[in-house]
Amino acid sequence: MKTSVLALVIFAAIASAPASADDQSLREKAASAGLKALPTTMPQPANNPITPEKITLGKMLFFDPRLSASGLISCNTCHNLGMGGDDNLPTSIGHGWQRGPRNAPTVFNAVFNVAQFWDGRAEDLKAQAKGPVQAGVEMANQPEFVVETLSSMPEYVERFGESFPGEADPVTFDNMAKAIEAFEVTLVTPGAPFDRFMEGDDAAMTPEQKDGLGLFVDRGCTACHTGVNVGGQSYFPFGLIKRPGADILPPNDKGRFKVTHSASDEYVFRAAPLRNTALTAPYFHSGQVWDLKQAVEVMGAAQLGAEIDEAEAGKIVAFLNSLTGEMPKVEYPILPVETATTPKPRF
Amino acid sequence: MKTSVLALVIFAAIASAPASADDQSLREKAASAGLKALPTTMPQPANNPITPEKITLGKMLFFDPRLSASGLISCNTCHNLGMGGDDNLPTSIGHGWQRGPRNAPTVFNAVFNVAQFWDGRAEDLKAQAKGPVQAGVEMANQPEFVVETLSSMPEYVERFGESFPGEADPVTFDNMAKAIEAFEVTLVTPGAPFDRFMEGDDAAMTPEQKDGLGLFVDRGCTACHTGVNVGGQSYFPFGLIKRPGADILPPNDKGRFKVTHSASDEYVFRAAPLRNTALTAPYFHSGQVWDLKQAVEVMGAAQLGAEIDEAEAGKIVAFLNSLTGEMPKVEYPILPVETATTPKPRF
């Protein structure tokens, strides 16, 4: 019997072992509340067939600081794949050392969010990718400069051709965004203890994590933080029951109101997706809370009107820690070399 | 016969095939001028035994922006492993968007330089690594904050322990530098056409590249740019024959004079190592020349007092292009997660 077949048989035996009644009941409760394991198949974004060529190109673009005006800032600067897919700063530092208005969300599993940005103003990852490249406080570039930069390097021209076959003029700002989306679709983190638990492995979560999961559902956290990303699926007012202080909810950022101009969307934000949240401090769109337990307590008071005591918050944090998955292995890309026609960095 | 043995036999047959007399003569001329192929064994830096644990730790530190005060800037920001080991900027952008005083040199093959920095003020890579971390215009950090940061993350504490076994207090600023040196020792780029030519493969370089190599020796370029790194071995006045303009040689940067305080060291710099130079524009310590052919012409006038005409400069550039080696494959490291005691970023 080959090793792989043997492993499969053993795996099947474990997977089909009868779960404890309590664990099975907890699993069903979580599933009823909308929580689910990460899918094992690659998501397929709209209007952007994923190919290996496009993923490779997208990885190069994701790491290429020459998408920014200065030549210093890449997607990975604020969505660092070695640091939970964000930058661990309250708000990001961008062009000219300016500070961005909101905390950088993680790029990991972002494909599973209903829309991108804290206010959902980008419908998908390819729409999102165009934002920071052009934002004056982030990469401060312009589409025509980006296209000029990419077109000046023969290797990029060739790779765009391979990634977008049949297009007469493949090096475009839109296609840059599509390639980045293709790479980002691969940035998923399976195998978290929570996922393994949901797939039937009782031992994947500790008793404290299971208690936390039970509390997370019972206290109503799953009203907002649900679905495959444990959040990221819909929009809710921050301060539904009681508005947090101005340090956490600055009055000048009205959230989704800026997108919809509907009064009911004042201080409305996309519920934060909570996968890998242990890696992505500080928390909230304002990035002012560094401690995950404190963030849980803030949420209890602001959204649920419930005093979550320290012991309960500790258990919920234990559950949140079970949402940390396996980071994808990424080989650092060797980027195309510049030529005489590559636009010079602009500070 | 095993495949590897067969490959070895074939390789030996190629390597021992009679070289053309002209090529063999060129090879001997280059060797006489001090040029040589990259060694195939890993260099052993002084007082720092290289181990796999130390290399892994060093890679994490090299990519970790939390070595900087802001949490934004890592070694890789200015010595980008995807862009020839530098940042392709005239001078680097650092803390607070300040501009550094000199062009960032490549980290690739830096272990083969006689000393580090343009003025050789660091005797080796571990001494070099401490500089940018503390420089106010670069990472703007202080050793005590660095040690506090690293000590706050259990994974780093464990890895320092494994990398420096037997030390009572392994998480130190010195050991940070030693681990970074260990990683940087692996950043060599073998297999350049020039290396393969020097090892006996006549076909590795084009006729134009060979003409350029001949000119490079005949015109006296090897008086400064020699040794395994085609430079980086000694110090020479910039403007030996004729000083270039103030744009290229700013009068306020007196080079090695600042290190030795010897009048004879005014405007003296370490000869630039020329491996992978096609990837590391812009050129010179001032980073004001973007075109390699122009850089060759500047050198001819400034250092040799020779008018190198455009055809000759083109051939020398062809030779310099033959110095581009194979970039090492580097898996992007997953960095340790911060804890409550990790110092917060300081802007």
Question: Which among A70, A73, A103 is positioned nearest to A255, based on CA atoms?
Answer: A103
Mean pLDDT of B18-26: 86
**How far from A206 is each of A40, A202, A213, CA to CA, in Å?**
23, 9, 11
Question: Which among B318, B321, B322 is positioned nearest to B215, based on CA atoms?
Answer: B318
- Position B6 pLDDT exceeds 60: no
- Position B1 pLDDT exceeds 70: no
Count of structural domains, chain B:
2
pLDDT tens digits, A36-76: 999 988 899 999 999 999 999 999 999 999 999 999 999 99
The last residue of a domain, from among B170, B185, B200: B185
Asked if the Cβ–Cβ distance from B88 to A340 is below 8 Å, we say no
What DSSP state is assigned to residue A275? Answer: T
Asked if the Cβ–Cβ distance from A331 to B330 is below 8 Å, we say yes
Cβ neighbours, 10 Å, residue B129:
26
Question: Do residues B198 and B317 both lie within one domain?
Answer: yes
Question: Do residues B154 and B208 both lie within one domain?
Answer: no
**Range scoring the smallest mean pLDDT among A11-25, B2-16, B37-51, B57-71:** B2-16
Bridge partner list, B235: B270
Question: Do residues B121 and B179 both lie within one domain?
Answer: yes
Q: What does the alpha-carbon distance between residue B294 and residue B288 come to, in Å, rounded to a whole number?
A: 11
pLDDT given at position B3: 45
Compute the mean pLDDT over every residue in chain A, rounded to the nearest whole number: 94
Question: Do residues A165 and A268 both lie within one domain?
Answer: no
Residues of A in contact with B83 (CB under 8 A): 65, 335
Question: Do residues B152 and B255 both lie within one domain?
Answer: no
- Residue B39, amino acid: P
pLDDT given at position B347: 85
Residue B331 is nearest to which of A65, A83, A329, comparing CB atoms? A329
- Position B4 pLDDT exceeds 90: no
| Residue A80 within any structural domain of the chain | yes
Minimum distance, in Å, between the CA of residue A162 and any CA atom of chain B: 21
Minimum distance, in Å, between the CA of residue A340 and any CA atom of chain B: 7
Residues of A in contact with B96 (CB under 8 A): 97
pLDDT tens digits, B107-138: 999 999 999 999 999 999 999 999 999 999 99
Question: Do residues A234 and A282 both lie within one domain?
Answer: yes
CA angle B224, B225, B227 (to 5 degrees): 110
- Percent of chain B at pLDDT > 70 equals 95
Helix ranges (DSSP H) in chain B:
3-15, 21-32, 52-63, 75-78, 125-134, 143-151, 154-163, 173-185, 193-198, 207-218, 257-260, 292-299, 310-321
pLDDT tens digits, B209-222: 999 999 999 999 99
| Residue A4 within any structural domain of the chain | no
The last residue of a domain, from among B161, B185, B209: B185
Residues A195, A319: contact at Cβ < 8 Å?
no
Q: What ipTM describes this predicted complex?
A: 0.93
| Residue B12 within any structural domain of the chain | no
Would you place residue A334 in the very low, low, confident or very high pLDDT band (cuts 50, 70, 90)?
A: very high
pLDDT given at position B16: 46
Asked if the Cβ–Cβ distance from B290 to A340 is below 8 Å, we say yes
Q: What does the alpha-carbon distance between residue B138 and residue B146 come to, in Å, rounded to a whole number?
A: 14
- Percent of chain A at pLDDT > 90 equals 92
| Residue B20 within any structural domain of the chain | no
Question: Do residues A169 and A232 both lie within one domain?
Answer: no
Range of the domain at A88: 52-185
Residue A88 is nearest to which of B63, B71, B84, comparing CB atoms? B71
Asked if the Cβ–Cβ distance from A96 to B97 is below 8 Å, we say yes
Residues of A in contact with B149 (CB under 8 A): none
| Residue A246 within any structural domain of the chain | yes
Question: Do residues B178 and B208 both lie within one domain?
Answer: no
Residue B82 is nearest to which of A83, A327, A334, comparing CB atoms? A334
Residue A332 is nearest to which of B72, B291, B330, comparing CB atoms? B330
pTM, full prediction:
0.94
Q: Which residues of A179-206 are buried (b: 16+ CB within 10 A; e: fewer)?
A: bbbbbbbebbbeebbbbbbbebbbebbe
pLDDT tens digits, B233-270: 999 999 999 999 999 999 999 999 999 999 999 999 99
Would you place residue B2 in the very low, low, confident or very high pLDDT band (cuts 50, 70, 90)?
A: very low
Residue of chain A whose Cα is closest to the Cα of B331: A331
Catalytic residue flag (residue A144):
no
Asked if the Cβ–Cβ distance from A345 to B77 is below 8 Å, we say no
SS3 state of residue A283: strand
pLDDT tens digits, B76-119: 999 999 999 999 999 999 999 999 999 999 999 999 999 999 99
Question: Do residues B145 and B92 both lie within one domain?
Answer: yes
Minimum distance, in Å, between the CA of residue A29 and any CA atom of chain B: 31
Question: Do residues A273 and A218 both lie within one domain?
Answer: yes
Q: How far, in whole angstroms, is CA A12 from its chain's centroid? A: 32
Residue of chain B whose Cα is closest to the Cα of A79: B72
pLDDT tens digits, A168-225: 999 999 999 999 999 999 999 999 999 999 999 999 999 999 999 999 999 999 999 9
Residue of chain B whose Cα is closest to the Cα of A279: B337
Question: Which among B153, B152, B165, B187 is positioned nearest to B53, based on CA atoms?
Answer: B165
Active site positions of B, annotated: 138
Residues of B in contact with A87 (CB under 8 A): 65, 71-72
Residues B63, B332: contact at Cβ < 8 Å?
yes
pLDDT given at position B121: 95
Residues of B in contact with A93 (CB under 8 A): 70, 72, 347
Residue of chain A whose Cα is closest to the Cα of B92: A72
Compute the mean pLDDT over every residue in chain B, rounded to the nearest whole number: 94
pLDDT tens digits, A136-153: 999 999 999 999 999 999
- Residue A288, amino acid: Q
pLDDT tens digits, A94-111: 999 999 999 999 999 999
Query: Around A177, how many Cα atoms within 13 Å sit in the side-chain half-sphere?
Result: 20
Question: Do residues A75 and A32 both lie within one domain?
Answer: no
The last residue of a domain, from among A129, A152, A185: A185
| Residue A170 within any structural domain of the chain | yes
Would you place residue B18 in the very low, low, confident or very high pLDDT band (cuts 50, 70, 90)?
A: low
| Residue B1 within any structural domain of the chain | no
**How far from A246 is each of A299, A303, B4, B114, CA to CA, in Å?**
15, 16, 68, 56
- Position B12 pLDDT exceeds 90: no
| Residue A129 within any structural domain of the chain | yes
Number of H helices, E strands in chain B: 13, 2
Residue A338 is nearest to which of B71, B77, B88, comparing CB atoms? B88
pLDDT tens digits, A247-299: 999 999 999 999 999 999 999 999 999 999 999 999 999 999 999 999 999 99
Question: Do residues A181 and A195 both lie within one domain?
Answer: no
CATH assignment of the domain containing B59: 1.10.760.10
Asked if the Cβ–Cβ distance from A340 to B66 is below 8 Å, we say no
Asked if the Cβ–Cβ distance from A337 to B84 is below 8 Å, we say yes
